[in-house]
Amino acid sequence: MLKDRDAIANLAVKDLARAKKFYEDTLGLVQVDAEDEELIVFKSGNTTINVYRSQYAGTNQATAVTWMVGDDVEGVVRALKAKGVAFEHYDMPDMTLEGDLHVAGDLKVAWFKDPDGNILNIVNR
């Protein structure tokens, strides 16, 4: 029923203008739509991300969006760091921390947060 349908990520934020600046200027996403002062839609690859205003912003304690960046994960980490992104460091079983990357075998993952505390990550897949 849904296997051939695109999915859209939804991220709650408190300050839509601050979120717009982060998602456009820091992450390089392009706004493709908006609804008043309540929602901004960003294009990311072949998908979209809805960033919407909510009183519940920042309450999710799990990863909300993952970008699969392939072999350039180290380069993406460097580029994001140069734009002021601070990476999260977690104590993960069976993973070692190498700089800002959590590594397990050939898997490399880096987590960071948007200004509202939504947890985002990049992975070398």
CATH class as words, domain 1-54? alpha beta
Domain ranges in the chain with CATH number 3.10.180.10: 1-54, 63-125
Give pLDDT, residue 114.
97
Give pLDDT, residue 5.
86
Residue-by-residue pLDDT tens, the chain, 125 positions:
889 888 899 999 999 999 999 999 999 999 999 999 899 999 999 999 999 999 999 899 999 999 999 999 999 999 999 999 999 999 999 999 999 999 999 999 999 999 999 999 999 99
Give pLDDT, residue 70.
96
Give pLDDT, residue 65.
97
Q: Identify which of 110, 108, 58, 49 has the alpha carbon closest to the alpha carbon of residue 80.
A: 110
The amino acid that residue 26 corresponds to is T
Helix (H) or strand (E) holding 110: strand 107-113
Give pLDDT, residue 102.
98
Helix (H) or strand (E) holding 117: none
63-125 maps to CATH 3.40.50.150: no
Give pLDDT, residue 12.
98
Give pLDDT, residue 77.
98
Give pLDDT, residue 1.
83
